[in-house]
A = this chain, B = another copy of it.
């Protein structure tokens, strides 16, 4: 069945299949077989396109992070550039991201855990994290000192990640998400509304 010129399409299909498997089975129990079955292809195709399982996993994380970044950029362009609007956009982007759900939260936690021991994943996480903190710092800096903005950014970033972590482990992830987004916003805006 070989059709020429489908490299990008096949890669995307495999990334989707990998994310689906990670969401359902976890990164731990996701195998080359579980991915290739979901993609309707053979096991050998993964090494062919991504050089191995690790390469596909990295590509899948990169895909998620790209999506997160684009989500923020889209939102921010529909607002004025005020500190309040920027902060709401950042938080919304981090919670909205392709339906917050138990499965999405588990996927993130899987990637977080693995990135402790795989430098490629760790690097991607750190780039994304630096971007989040930088965006928050910039927004907060519009209405407080540099040091205060730094602290507020760290607290907000930690609270966002904390709610994601808790959603992955919670018995009731949806309820956790809904209140998480609201509580992060109310915390972050408390710096701004009171000034």
Name A's B-contacting residues (CB within 8 A).
26, 28-29, 106, 109-110, 112-117, 122, 125-126, 129, 151, 154-155, 157-163, 165-166, 168-169, 171, 179-180, 183-184, 186-187
Contact flag A169-B126 (CB < 8 Å), given A106-B116, A159-B159, A159-B162? yes
**Which residues from B are CB-within-8-Å of A28?**
28, 113-114, 117
**Which residues from B are CB-within-8-Å of A110?**
113, 116
Residue from B26, B114, B165 within 8 A of A162 (CB atoms): B165
Task: List 10 A-B residue pairs with CB atoms under 8 Å apart, sorted by A's residue number.
Answer: A106-B116, A109-B113, A110-B116, A112-B165, A112-B169, A129-B169, A155-B159, A161-B165, A162-B163, A187-B187
Residue from B112, B166, B179, B180 within 8 A of A129 (CB atoms): B166
Residue from B113, B151, B163, B166 within 8 A of A183 (CB atoms): B151
Report which residue of A29, A125, A154, A186 has the largest number of chain B beta carbons within 10 angstroms of its beta carbon.
A154
The 6 closest A-B pairs by CB, nearest first: A158-B162, A162-B162, A113-B113, A161-B162, A158-B163, A159-B159
**Which residues from B are CB-within-8-Å of A171?**
126
User: Chain A: interface secondary structure?
Assistant: helix
Q: Smallest CB-CB separation from A171: which chain B residue?
A: B126
Inter-chain contact B165/A180, CB cutoff 8 Å:
no
A186 to chain B, nearest CB (A): 8
**Which residues from B are CB-within-8-Å of A154?**
179-180, 183
Q: Smallest CB-CB separation from A150: which chain B residue?
A: B179
Please measure, in the bound complex, the distance between the C-alpha atom of A3 and the C-alpha atom of B180, giving whole angstroms. Answer: 54
**Which residues from B are CB-within-8-Å of A129?**
166, 169
